[in-house]
């Protein structure tokens, strides 16, 4: 099987198409609750407060673009 090579002309065509119809190429946030997600720089975990006093921790969660805020576990240890 051979791979298709689109070339530069294909890229230019896609850019022009996106300019003609900008409403088709709207970027959206990845998460609807992105405002409640934080990243703790002390323990390197991402966390969020969910319904009530419950806190969910995520070990393998991308921290790019998240607000930096120390989690409650690290606050209690200090």
pLDDT tens per residue, range 41-55? 999 999 988 877 888
**Which residue in the block uniquely carries the two structure tokens 């300019």?**
19
| Higher-confidence position of 39 and 7 | 39
Q: Is the pLDDT of residue 63 over 90?
A: no
pTM: 0.55
Q: Is the pLDDT of residue 29 over 80?
A: no
Give the contacts of 25 (CB within 8 A, at least 6 positions apart): 18
Beta strands in 1-78 (DSSP E): 37-39, 46-49, 55-58, 67-68
| Higher-confidence position of 45 and 7 | 45
Q: Is the pLDDT of residue 40 over 90?
A: yes
pLDDT of residue 8: 86
Which pairs count as long-range contacts for 13-19, CB under 8 Å and 24+ apart, including other chains? none
């Amino acid at each position: 099987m051979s791979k298709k090579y689109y070339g530069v002309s294909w890229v230019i065509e896609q850019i022009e198409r996106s300019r003609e119809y900008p409403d088709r190429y709207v970027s959206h946030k990845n998460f609807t609750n992105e405002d409640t997600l934080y990243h703790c720089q002390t323990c390197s975990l991402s966390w969020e407060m969910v319904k009530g006093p419950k806190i969910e921790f995520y070990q393998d969660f991308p921290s790019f673009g998240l607000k930096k805020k120390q989690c409650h576990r690290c606050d209690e240890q200090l």
